Amino acid sequence: MRESAFETMIGAVVVAVAAVFLWFALARGGEAATGSDQYTVTARFNNVSGLARGSDVRIAGVKAGIVKAIDGDPKRFEAVVTLALDTKWELPDDTDARVSTDGLLGGAYVALEPGGSMDNIPQDGKGEIQYTRGSVDLLTLFASFASGSGGDQPAESEADPTADPLDALDGVEP
C-alpha cells in the first residue's frame, strides 16, 4: 500500500508540473511581446508564405527584432505585418523589406535593407515600410525552370531550323 501512495504522489507532481508548463505556453505563446526598448512599424506584402508570428527581423543578417503580428487587408488583398524593432535601429524611410528564408529547409524571416535617405521612419508606432517584396514560392520557381519557361529566349529546339541567321540583318546598314 505504501508504494501505491508514493506512486500516486509522484504522478500528481508530474501532472502539476505539466499543467504549469501548459499554462505558461498558453499565456506567453499567444502573442509576441514588445519590450520597452522596442518600437513597431508595419509593412504590406503581397505574399508572406512561411512567415509566422515570432519570426526574426534581420538587418545585414543580425537580429533586429521580431514579427509581432500578421493580418490581412481585405480591401487591398495584402498581408499587413507588424514588426517590433529594437530602438537602436533607426531605419531610413526608403528601407526595403523582403520575406526571405534560411536555405531550402529553413524558416522564413523578414530581411530589412536600409536605404540612403536622410529621413527616418518614425519610432512612434505609426511608421510604415513602403518598399516590400514578398516571399518566393520555390515549387513554382523550380517548375518554371523544369518546363523551360524560365527565360524569354526560345529554346534551341524551338527555333526554326530553316531560317537564315543573316535574315535578321536585313535592312541594317553597315
54 inside domain: yes
Structural domain of residue 46, as residue ranges? 38-136
User: What confidence tier does 167 reach under pLDDT thresholds 50, 70, 90?
Assistant: low
The reported pLDDT for the residue numbered 161 is: 58
Count of domains forming the chain:
2
**Structural domain contains residue 154:** no
Domain annotation covers residue 151: no
**DSSP strand pairing (127-129 vs 78-86):** unpaired
- Same structural domain for residues 16 and 82? no
Is 70 in the same domain as 7? no
Q: Are residues 3 and 79 in the same domain?
A: no
Q: Report whether 67 contacts 57 (CB < 8 A).
A: yes
**pLDDT tens digits for range 17-47:** 998 888 877 776 555 555 568 899 999 999 8
pLDDT above 80 (res 1): no
CA-based nearest residue to 79, from 140, 141, 135: 135
For residues 50 and 128, state if they share a domain.
yes
Same domain, 24 and 52: no
- Read off the pLDDT of residues 71-110 as tens digits, 9 standing for 90 and up: 999 999 999 999 999 989 889 989 999 998 887 777 889 9
Same domain, 54 and 15: no
* Domain identity same for 131 and 108: yes
Same domain, 54 and 115: yes
pLDDT value, residue 81 = 94
State whether 62 and 128 are in the same domain.
yes
Same domain for 61 and 24: no
The pLDDT value given to residue 166: 56
Residue 169 in any domain: the answer is: no
Q: Are residues 120 and 73 in the same domain?
A: yes
Those residues whose C-beta lies under 8 Å from the C-beta of residue 39, and which sit 6 or more positions away, are: 84, 85, 87, 123, 124, 125, 127
Residue 168, pLDDT > 80, answer no
The model's confidence at residue 169, banded by pLDDT at 50, 70 and 90, is low
165 within a domain of the structure (yes/no): no
Gap between the Cα atoms of 80 and 68, Å rounded: 11
Who contacts 99 (Cβ-Cβ below 8 Å, separation ≥6)?
A: 45, 47, 48, 49, 50, 51, 108, 109, 110, 111, 133, 134, 135
Per-chain mean pLDDT for the chain: 80
In a domain, 160, yes or no: no
- If asked whether residues 63 and 22 sit together in one domain, one would say no
